[in-house]
Amino acid sequence: MRVPILTYHGVNIAGGGYADNDHVAFAADLELIQSLQLRIVPLQWVVDQRLGRSRRDLRGCVALTCDDGSNFDYDDLDHPQHGVQRSFYNSLRRFRDHHGVRAQPDLHLTSFVIADPVARERMDRQCLVGRDWMQSRWWRAAQDSGLIAIENHSWDHNHPCLDSPGPHGLVRGDFHAVASEAQAEFEIARAQHYLAQQLAPQAPRLFCYPFGHVNDFLRADWLPRRGPAVGLDAAFGDGAAPVTMTSDRWNLPRYICGWHWRSPEALRAILESAAD
């Protein structure tokens, strides 16, 4: 297995081009993946394969994820500076309308969302444009569409816009700071619990590290020990490599749009090298 995992951020909207707008990039990348005759599969399939629970043929496959969980994932929104943005969800639907179900029968996107409604509201005011675009009301509709899974991107991202220190002495602004038992329970287990309540009967099974910050306490101690008990199968970082059978279960690598690639040509090189 050598499956590249691609990551987008719905709030990355700084212009209208591929390099400065993740919605433009996402829609173009769906077409690129199709033209390269690669197959989009749910992220959970890659995890199940890695954990030996399934033995699908995942040659020529790629999985899609997006982080932070703003309304831009699901709704088309009129950005005050950059105009109407087509959501990731509507790009998936549009792709399916154009190409038919058989083109990508397992078409899927995993959206890693921030759990805490208070933190989301603070981020909406301080980091977005204060239009209440960090809601949770679209989560269930997205999940019910069958095209999107909602997964765990921590309780509050330990975001710099939050009051510091937070609970359990947590210094804000950096996920490396989550380095004690109580802090990990607060940031990861609490989010698991909240998301399971919101999404029942579905429950989150995947975690991705805010800011891509992976520390040894979480990766090598807390998650191996507590992860399965709180319902987690795996965790994702930003290692810029394909997932293989020897990838670290608690730090599975991903490629980040705007960082590891900024053009269709660069993504094509990533996808072609992963397939070798």
Instruction: List interacting residues with Zn ion (CB under 5 A).
Output: 67-68, 210
* Residue 33 or 218 with smaller CB distance to Zn ion: 218
Q: How far is the CB of 256 from Zn ion (least distance, A)?
A: 10
Q: How far is the CB of 153 from Zn ion (least distance, A)?
A: 6
Q: How far is the CB of 173 from Zn ion (least distance, A)?
A: 13
Distance CA 141, CA 90 (A): 13
Distance CA 199, CA 75 (A): 19
Distance CA 260, CA 150 (A): 24
263 close to 271: Cβ distance less than 8 angstroms: no
Task: Please give the structure tokens belonging to residue 7.
Answer: 């990551």
Counting every residue written for the chain, the total comes to 276
* Residue 10 or 242 with smaller CB distance to Zn ion: 10
Distance CA 204, CA 233 (A): 9
Distance CA 6, CA 10 (A): 13
Q: Tell me which residue has its CB nearest to Zn ion.
A: 67
- Cα dihedral: 20, 21, 25, 28 (round 10): -110
The Cβ of residue 155 has, within 10 Å, a number of other Cβ atoms equal to: 25
* Residue 85 or 152 with smaller CB distance to Zn ion: 152
Q: How far is the CB of 26 from Zn ion (least distance, A)?
A: 16
Residue 28's H or E segment, with its range, is: helix 22-35
Distance CA 264, CA 57 (A): 26
* Residue 21 or 104 with smaller CB distance to Zn ion: 21
Distance CA 164, CA 174 (A): 11
* Residue 156 or 233 with smaller CB distance to Zn ion: 156
Q: How far is the CB of 190 from Zn ion (least distance, A)?
A: 17
* Residue 95 or 250 with smaller CB distance to Zn ion: 250
* Residue 10 or 210 with smaller CB distance to Zn ion: 210
Q: How far is the CB of 66 from Zn ion (least distance, A)?
A: 10
